[in-house]
């Protein structure tokens, strides 16, 4: 039973990892976790995922604008400049 708990703990640590380096260190020596880590890295780098993040980011900006959030707040949240936000706003 101890071995089963160790395996479960390793998977939970892998899932909770904050970045690729941490995931890779936890996965070291476990072929299944190493394969999963490769899959995650490929997925994150994919155009499909990047497009999803862009659409999500745009939706968040629209919600903030519609809620009347000041540009400086939107800048803080998104990391965009006020000029970028105004340019985006002019196209919606």
| Domain edges within the chain | 2-45, 48-89
pLDDT bucket at 42, cuts 50 / 70 / 90? very high
> How confident is the model over 22-36, as pLDDT tens digits?
999 999 999 999 999
> How confident is the model over 47-82, as pLDDT tens digits?
999 999 889 989 999 999 999 999 999 999 988 899
DSSP assignment of the chain, as one string? Answer: -HHHHHHHHHHHHHHH-SSHHHHHHHHTT-HHHHHHHHHHHHHHHSHHHHHHHHHHHHHHHHHHHHTT--HHHHHHHH---HHHHHHHHTT-
Give me the pLDDT at residue 26, please. 97
Give me the pLDDT at residue 49, please. 92
The backbone region for 21, taken as left when phi is positive above 0, alpha when psi lies in -120 to 50, beta otherwise, is alpha
Q: Is the pLDDT of residue 1 over 70?
A: no
Q: Which residue has the tokens 């690729």?
A: 20
Q: Which residue has the tokens 């071995």?
A: 3
């Amino acid at each position: 039973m101890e071995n089963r708990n160790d395996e479960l703990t390793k998977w939970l640590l892998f899932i909770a990892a904050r970045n690729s380096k941490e995931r890779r260190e936890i996965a070291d020596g476990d072929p299944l976790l190493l394969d999963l880590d490769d899959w995650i890295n490929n997925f994150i780098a994919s155009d499909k995922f990047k497009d999803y993040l862009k659409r999500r980011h745009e939706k968040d900006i629209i919600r903030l604008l519609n809620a009347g959030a000041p540009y400086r707040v939107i800048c803080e949240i998104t990391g965009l400049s006020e000029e970028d936000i105004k340019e985006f706003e002019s196209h919606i």
